[in-house]
């Protein structure tokens, strides 16, 4: 198997590359990544049977050549951060919508299998006390420029399956955490704020709930769908990890030896989704997938340890990221 992984130098993509390299030792992996501010060649450097093509998914010629040489494509490449999409939406339209169009056209031309990586945010949000969770039948109702462009990309994939017979599957996953996550995102931002001698920053009241999954469990779900998923189907990936932002910060502060209330409340994110929750029954029942990192506190402790031990990795991103937050007042 020769696998092309778009966005494979980013957080989830590079964890997926390492997962596949371990679990499928005979496979050859080509990472196709533009190395935007969110991509880092060090994330995939020195891995056996892994090579890197630095190029844009919106560049059809380079993409076509890469897809032609692959048996299957897993498409992670995206602009991924909600706060950035509120400040500057155009790159989200370009990469997430137009880029996915180019990926679809390339796999159509070459008759290649595609797995498209998406997000639970396409379904909008849920009320805090609502017993409901997202299922593959939940209507799309995205809130932000980021989630609406991801929703658009999913709809393109569905149309290319139906109209052109493209052999594709889609997965919509909840919030990932783990090593190699950019410090702009919630959990690494708070860990690195504490490691930098500052306080965590909670948006609004901190009551918003996210459904956390370790990125390793996301990877095993994607591999199961790639190998055994039914073409044209959508699978939701989640590990029953609902937790309020305030609780996450309290857990992190406890793990880092600081008082549980040693955080700041800052301005809320405009349009801030209240709660996400995933029902992953289809993936569990149909493909027998099970998460292995069920203990969130243990996973957080490992993640704190990773950021403590890898200052060289995150320190170069930190000042610029905080300068961007300063402009947003968050
Ligand atoms: P990330 O921002 O860490 O990584 C994105 C990668 O895509 C980077 O390496 C970047 O260089 C690359 N990229 C961006 N634009 C590109 C372009 N035009 N051409 C080629 N490469 C480009 O993102 P992430 O958090 O790892 O998310 C990966 C995917 O998973 C995204 O599709 C995202 O929507 C989805 N997702 C993320 C989460 C999460 O919690 N982070 C949850 C569910 C789904
Ligand atoms: O649900 C899946 C999505 O999860 C992915 O599709 C996105 O790519 C990914 O970025 C993530 O989106 P969120 O907006 O949920 O993640 P973020 O890490 O930006 O924020 C998580 C929660 O924490 C959210 O409620 C906002 C809040 N927050 C965030 C930051 C950066 C804070 O309270 N303080 C912060 O400093």
Is the model's pTM score more than 0.85?
yes
The rounded mean pLDDT for the chain is 97
* DSSP label of 178: S
Does the pLDDT of residue 321 top 90, yes or no?
Answer: yes
Which ligand ends up closest to the CA of 124? 2
Q: Is there a contact between 160 and 166 (Cβ–Cβ < 8 Å)? A: yes
pLDDT of 329 reads: 83
Task: Note whether 82 and 269 are within 8 A (CB).
Answer: yes
How confident is the model over 44-58, as pLDDT tens digits?
Answer: 999 999 999 999 999
Chain center to CA of 50: 20
Whether 121 sits among the annotated catalytic residues: the reply is: yes
Identify the pLDDT of residue 287: 98
Q: Which tokens hold the place of 47?
A: 């891995």
Q: Assign 140 a pLDDT band (cuts: 50, 70, 90).
A: very high
Q: Give phi and psi for 134, each to the nearest 5.
A: -70, 140
Atom of ligand 2 nearest to the CA of 144: 14
240 assigned to active site? no
Query: 185 phi and psi, to 5 degrees?
Result: -80, 160
Residue 300 has pLDDT above 90, yes or no: yes
Return the percentage of the chain with pLDDT > 70, whole number: 100
Strand partners, 170: 116, 234
Residue tagged active-site, from 33, 120, 211, 273:
120
Lowest mean pLDDT among 78-82, 292-296, 305-309: 292-296
Q: pLDDT tens digits for 106-131?
A: 999 999 999 999 999 999 999 999 99
Domains along the chain with CATH numbers: 2-182+213-240+276-293 (3.40.50.720)
What local confidence, expressed as pLDDT, does residue 48 receive?
Answer: 95
Q: Which runs of E-coded beta strand occur in the chain?
A: 2-6, 28-33, 50-54, 72-75, 113-119, 168-173, 176-177, 201-203, 209-211, 213-214, 234-237, 242-244, 264-266
């Amino acid at each position: 198997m020769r696998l092309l992984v778009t966005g494979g130098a980013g957080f989830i993509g590079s964890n997926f590359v390492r997962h596949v390299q371990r679990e499928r030792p005979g496979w050859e992996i080509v990472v196709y990544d533009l190395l935007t501010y969110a991509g880092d060649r060090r994330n995939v450097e020195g891995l056996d049977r892994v090579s890197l093509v630095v190029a844009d998914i919106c560049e059809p010629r380079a993409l076509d050549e890469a897809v032609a040489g692959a048996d299957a494509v897993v498409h992670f490449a995206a602009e991924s951060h909600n706060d950035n999409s509120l400040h500057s939406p155009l790159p989200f339209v370009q990469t997430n919508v137009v880029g996915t169009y180019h990926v679809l056209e390339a796999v159509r031309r070459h008759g290649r299998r595609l797995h498209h990586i998406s997000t639970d945010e396409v379904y909008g949000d849920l009320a805090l006390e609502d017993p409901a969770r997202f299922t593959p039948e939940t209507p799309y109702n995205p809130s932000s420029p980021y989630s609406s462009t991801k929703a658009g990309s999913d709809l393109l994939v569905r149309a290319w399956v139906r109209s052109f017979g493209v052999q594709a599957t889609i997965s919509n996953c909840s919030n990932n955490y783990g090593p190699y996550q950019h410090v702009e995102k919630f959990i690494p931002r708070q860990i690195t704020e504490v490691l930098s001698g500052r306080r965590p920053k909670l948006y609004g009241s901190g009551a918003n709930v996210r459904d956390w999954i370790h990125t390793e469990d996301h990877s095993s779900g994607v591999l199961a769908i790639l190998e055994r998923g039914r073409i044209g189907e959508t699978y939701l990936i989640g590990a029953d990890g609902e937790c309020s932002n305030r609780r996450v910060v309290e857990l992190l502060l406890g793990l880092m030896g600081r008082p549980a209330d040693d955080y700041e409340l800052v301005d809320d994110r405009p349009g801030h989704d209240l709660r996400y929750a995933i029902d992953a029954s289809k993936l569990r029942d149909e493909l027998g997938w099970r998460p292995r990192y069920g203990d969130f506190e243990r996973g957080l402790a490992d993640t704190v340890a990773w950021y403590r031990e890898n200052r060289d990795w995150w320190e170069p991103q930190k000042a610029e990221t905080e300068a961007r937050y300063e402009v947003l007042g968050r």
